[in-house]
Amino acid sequence: MRVRNISVIGSSGIISDDVKELAEAVGKYIGESTFNLVCGGRDGVMEAVCRGMSTVKGKKGSIIGILPGYDFDGANSFCEVVIPTGIGYARNSIVANSGDIVIIIAGATGTLTEAAFAWSYNKPLVAMVKSGGIAKELAGKVLDYRSTVPVYTCETIDELDFTVKKIINENKDEQI
């Protein structure tokens, strides 16, 4: 049986201490579960979530960074598997489609494109609303006709754990 992937999408660049703390907690949660982490592999939320997962002793999953550029050097130092695509923002499609579940933390327009791709690919979206940004804007919304299930809304890691388990249970006969 394959290891499931959770993609985390969110803000790049400088992020607030609160968002960094939340992203690290999400990474730690993923590491304590039996998931791989897939993200854009760069800075900001991506680096924080990777850092959080890297602190988990005996983790089962891998930390995977899907980079927009051609060079391995663009990855944050916590990525274990680095995939340079050379396709720029089009890599957002790969990040979104790689996740069985996609978690949104903060974010701006790049995150919005990843969320739109995930929605189009029928991937369950989970918004960490306290992080603000696109996560807060999309939380609880149905984005279009492709699904009647709204973007899941979570405020805490306990809520995230409950939601992830609910999604997996509801989709246990499907490939998610």
**What's the CATH code of the domain at 25?**
3.40.50.450
Domain membership of residue 87 (yes or no) is yes
Domain membership of residue 172 (yes or no) is no
Domain membership of residue 167 (yes or no) is no
Q: Which of 92, 87, 152 is nearest to 116 (CA)?
A: 92
Domain membership of residue 175 (yes or no) is no
Q: With left for phi above 0 and alpha for psi between -120 and 50, is residue 130 left, alpha or beta? A: alpha
Domain membership of residue 168 (yes or no) is no
Helix or strand run (H / E) with residue 166: helix 157-170
- The residue segments making up the domain with residue 86 are 4-162
Query: What pairs with residue 102 in β-bridges?
Result: 7, 125
Domain membership of residue 169 (yes or no) is no
Domain membership of residue 25 (yes or no) is yes
What pLDDT does residue 120 have?
96
pTM of the model: 0.96
Give 11-66 as a DSSP string.
Answer: --S---HHHHHHHHHHHHHHHHTTEEEEE--SSTHHHHHHHHHHT-TT--S-EEEE
Please report, in tens digits, the pLDDT of each residue of the chain (176 residues total): 789 999 999 999 999 999 999 999 999 999 999 999 999 999 999 999 999 999 999 999 999 999 999 999 999 999 999 999 999 999 999 999 999 999 999 999 999 999 999 999 999 999 999 999 999 999 999 999 988 999 999 999 999 999 999 999 988 766 66
Structural domains in the chain (count): 1
Domain membership of residue 11 (yes or no) is yes
The alpha carbon torsion through 175, 143, 26, 32 (nearest 10 deg) reads -20
